[in-house]
Amino acid sequence: MKHMYPKNGRVILHVDMNSFYASVEMAYDPSLKGMPLAIAGNPEERRGIIVTCSYEARSFGVKTTMTLWEAKKLCPQLIVKKPNFDRYRAASIGMFEILNEYSSLVEPVSIDEGFIDITESFEHGAPLEIAETIQKQIFERLDLPCSIGVAPNKFLAKMASNMKKPMGITVLRKRDVPKILWPLEVEEMHGVGKKTGEKLRRLEIKTIGDLAKASEIQLKSTLGINGHRLKERANGIDNRHVDPDAAAEFKSIGNSTTLPRDNSNQQELLRVIENLAGTVSVRLKRKKVLATSLSVMIRYKDRKTITRSKKLSNPIQKSDEIFEAAKQLFLKHWNGDSIRLLGITGTDLVEQNEAVKQLDLFSFEKEAKKEPLFQVLNNLRKKYGSQIIERASGMPELKKQQENIGTETSFNKDFLRDLPDKKDNK
């Protein structure tokens, strides 16, 4: 079977579970199969938000993030269930166990999707045969449907897995990119969100093909250093390796502290938040990641605890940026009562070199000045290796900072054992 594999390239699968939470509930209770089913955060309230729904529900127009009252208006017979995260974790572990039977190079992306590099797995069969066997085993062992993308790199595998749902298998080669990807709307490209899509359209970039042929100068002036990366992706270029440690190591990074006494002094509480922001910043830098969402936890003297989150316009890592975002959240949601515990957590983490910075007109000039330095560093790393030069933010001295702060760490080492904070919208 070795002749079925490329001599120099890679063969990567992206396994994407279909309507995961709803499918797990159907596997647990077969009477739900074929029924319009939705998983919602708070089914008792009409304001509850739908986390995911079955394909039968989607046929009525029900969508993820829709409120329950809207969904039930579209589908009066909709069955609504609360999330059962223990059940979903167990199913996720079962899915990744199957993937690990075919390769040691398995990279979890979230609770319901992951990459697997099968370049050296030829003893299990041809690439398409492996994909078909994995899909069949996940369905037979776990009673769960999935879609799989087969491609020479992670980006194309991710795009391919989204093309046929449910229970689809799609092969996407680099030579297929102009015919299959380029005609698609630019927002359909993985890595291009709503805001980025709006910025690209202002440059008359409407399709993935337009992005593939766009001027790098224009892209950099609008998207900063991420412009070049997006253009590469649009041309089917992605040199990232499947890394078994990349996603499984952490999902969120945070810090919390119990105060010496119940406190309602705003100035003192903000100083605590500032210290926590510094600690979180150090840990983000140490792991070379940025947070795209931030949450603040407040526990009052009566032990009532609230957690409030905010999606950030740009990924952040610096202590002053974390403090400012946390301060706004805290002041907005604190009711003025005495507080026993405070915590800050950065979530929806992205790798430092993958962070998409949505630059505005004021920050672009500042970022552009860094470009010559970034280019020099990149050239040195290409020639001598990625570790030849590290930014000051990655130096060991940072590990010594904030060590004397009494904390209760909420650093989650294994996302499969933590509540998933990513909406399941497959």
> Which residues have a catalytic role annotated?
113
- Among 304, 313, 306, which residue's Cα sits nearest to residue 332? 306
The tokens for 262 are 């119940």
- Between CA 6 and CA 372 the distance in angstroms is 37
* Sign of the C-alpha dihedral computed for residues 256, 258, 264 and 270 taken in this order: negative
Task: Supply the DSSP string of 341-358, one letter for each residue.
Answer: EEEEEEEEEEEGGG----
Q: How many CA atoms lie within 13 A of 194 on its CB side?
A: 1
Find out whether 49 and 113 touch, Cβ atoms under 8 Å. no
Strands 253-263 and 408-409, bridge-based pairing = antiparallel
Dihedral sign computed on CA atoms, order 322, 323, 328, 329: positive
The annotation status of 112 as a binding-site residue, yes or no, is yes
**Class of residue 171 by CB neighbours under 10 A (exposed 0-12, middle 13-18, buried 19+):** middle
Strand-by-strand arrangement of the 305-316 sheet: 305-316, 289-300, 339-351, 253-263, 408-409
Spatial neighbors of 63 by CB under 8 A, at least 6 apart, are 50, 53
- Which single residue is written with the structure tokens 């572990």? 93
Pairing of strands 37-40, 79-81: parallel
- 16: annotated binding-site residue? yes
Provide the annotated binding site for Mg(2+): 16, 112
